[in-house]
Homo-oligomer: A and B are copies of this chain.
């Protein structure tokens, strides 16, 4: 292949939510050949995985891989354990919610790193953002920088002098800014699902933290909310 025309490859974590869809659109707009990675990790609903398929179809990717990983066997989160209820009484400031999945982003980034190494990619995109990192420790910039350090020490590519970069294009954006940016990039957010408790048809509950932040985001962006609520 001609090196001049060869696009740089990136692995993009795609959950099927609003944030990861926007992240994928940004990676594409930046000129990367995108390899989307989704996880079937024992989350409560398969609607999210169906949304990931719609998002990658909508935006276009070089490849979309789904890795099965049963984080539910480890437990500890309302997103993977049926016996813990998803809270619906509003976002609590300064606390880590029960929807936190222990070490989830570390696990996801590790597998993305392995695939990136196989693909010869040095760029990994993840849609963590400011709204999340008030609650989830593994959405903070310090965590991302520490993981980059691990990536460079853990891999053959790192030993050979390549430098992995974990891109977090949404990290400093508000939900409204993310929605405006994605809309400008042509995303149809009706195809995404953010709800922690979506039903089998992909209809959102409208009451969990994720639904509340999403709904407020559309309102603040001054755009109609295309989410299908039940």
**Chain B residues within an 8 Å CB radius of A146:** 146, 149-150, 153-154
> Which B residues are CB-close (under 8 A) to A151?
103, 106
- Can you list, as one digit per residue, whether each of A136-163 has a CB less than 8 Å from chain B (1) or not (0)? 0110101100110111011110110000
**A70 close to B (CB within 8 Å):** yes
Q: Hey, what's the 0/1 contact readout for A82-111 against B, CB within 8 Å counting as 1? A: 000000000000001000111111110111
Asked if A73 lies at the interface with its beta carbon under 8 angstroms from chain B, I say: yes
Residue of B nearest to A152 (CB): B146
User: In the bound complex, how far is the Cα of B95 from the Cα of A27, in angstroms?
Assistant: 34
Does A169 belong to the interface (CB within 8 Å)? no
Q: In the complex, which of the residues B76, B101, B104, B155 contacts A137, with contact meaning CB atoms closer than 8 Å? A: B155
Q: Once the chains bind, are B106 and A110 in contact (CB under 8 Å)?
A: yes
* A107 and B114 within 8 A (CB): yes
Q: Is the CB of A102 within 8 A of B137?
A: no
Pull 30 A–B residue pairs with CB atoms less than 8 Å apart, ordered by A.
A65-B73, A67-B73, A69-B69, A74-B114, A74-B118, A76-B118, A102-B115, A102-B118, A102-B155, A102-B156, A103-B110, A103-B155, A104-B114, A106-B110, A106-B150, A106-B151, A107-B111, A107-B114, A137-B153, A137-B155, A137-B156, A138-B153, A140-B153, A142-B153, A143-B153, A146-B149, A146-B150, A147-B150, A149-B149, A149-B150
